[in-house]
Structure 1
Amino acid sequence: MERKPIWALSISIFLLVTIANSEVEEVKQALVQFMQKLSSGNVPRDQNWGWNMSSDPCYDIWAGVTCDMRLQSVRKIVLDGFNLSGTLDASSVCMIKSLAVLSLEGNSVAGEIPEDISNCKQLTHLFISNNQFSGAIPVSISQLGNLKGLEVSNNNLSGELPDFSRISGLIGFLAENNYLSGRIPDFSFSNLMQFNVSNNRLSGPIPDVRGRFGADSFSGNPGLCGKPLSNACPPTSPS
């Protein structure tokens, strides 16, 4: 077998290390950009803040970041109550292919939920309640097949609810106190453990929730009818 000279092996190792580092730098740059869009200079940054190119999200302290140290990859970003008032840059944060949890609850993040949030393929929990998001819940969220919890309550969201029936593992959906309209689509109600769409502008008959949720999950929608609410749906006229 032909032996490679030592200098060739050294160059190969150097190139591998360089490529690996460039991938790490690309991910880090994406995270820094994500934070730049999310904050508008009103976040206190001390030595425990991180989120810069001169430190590492897994080996150094980055506020709100949790890593899988075995894989050296970011798994959770939890920035609840950080006084953030920018926008959600999904194209940047979804470059973190290992991201499972993204939580921005209790801030003042505005703008729409980006369609490209669907690029966060490993996402299991998306929590963005108590912000100032507006516009519709993107249909692309239904492509997140690993999603287990989606919480968008207390925002300014409008439009119709997407069809979440393809997300068979969804166990929690909270969307109360918005301006959502239209009908309630099919959910896998037999799997859901949390569900609330109260205080919106939804209309039409309530799907069969299999007795798992009470009227408080649907109240505040004058156009809704059927169990578990007390107002029955009007009889359908014969064709």
Structure 2
Amino acid sequence: MAAIQVVRSEWTKIRSVASTVWTLSLAVVVTVALGMLIAALSKNEFDNLSARDRLSFDPTYISFAGMSLGQLAMIVFGVLVVSNEYSTGMIRTSLAAVPQRGTFLFSKIAVAAGLALAVGLVTSFVTFFLGQSMLGSLRAEIGDPGVLRAVIGGGLYMTLIALFSMGVAAMLRSPMLSLGILMPFFFLISNILGNVGATKKVGRYLPDQAGSKIMQVVTPVDDDTPYGPWGGLAIMVVWVVAALLGGYLLLKRRDA
């Protein structure tokens, strides 16, 4: 089957599964709503901040506060795109139709990545503008130094989260097992490692902590991270490539 036909087939699969559509919709709603709420609360608390905290106040990054929950939906999306066929048994039919497993997997990844990028960019721009509207006089403008990079970076971050989840799901094949590992990893382990003094230097190299650096415009006063926004995104890309490569190698070596 020609590559273009495989891509069309994968697009049809993703579009026809209601759960994937709902998870992407949820990613938008949660990210935007929580971002607006945190921005409004931050505006009200600004006068109570110390002089040191005001120096670290980052209106752009505050509007992305909802990403912490929005990425949850992107993780679910990435897992479902890959593992749905395993849980239903359709993977045998798919691989019979497309024996070239690399073509099969990377067509799926390409379609999902394009969809995640479109949703991620729309979400990022909407949450930025609505979040800044809640901040009033404290807001940042899209033309300010580093702001456009941060907003575009927010969309790239959401896309990479989905791709990393796809790689893990391709390795594990089970939606429950994949989510059972990814959820604690991003919402518990990463936070613990990043906030405990003894492990902080390790935690900053995890995909979510490194990748989220791209959304920062103002560097916190006490931040000694040895890489910048693009360096952090590059670290996240390495994690994603490793996950996808692992998924590809295992798909090639084992039965459906």
Settle same-fold status: TM greater than 0.5.
Answer: no
TM-score, with structure 1 as normaliser: 0.23
Q: Which has the larger radius of gyration?
A: 1
- When normalised by structure 2's length, the TM-score is 0.22
Q: Which has the higher contact order (CA 8 A, sep 6+)?
A: 2
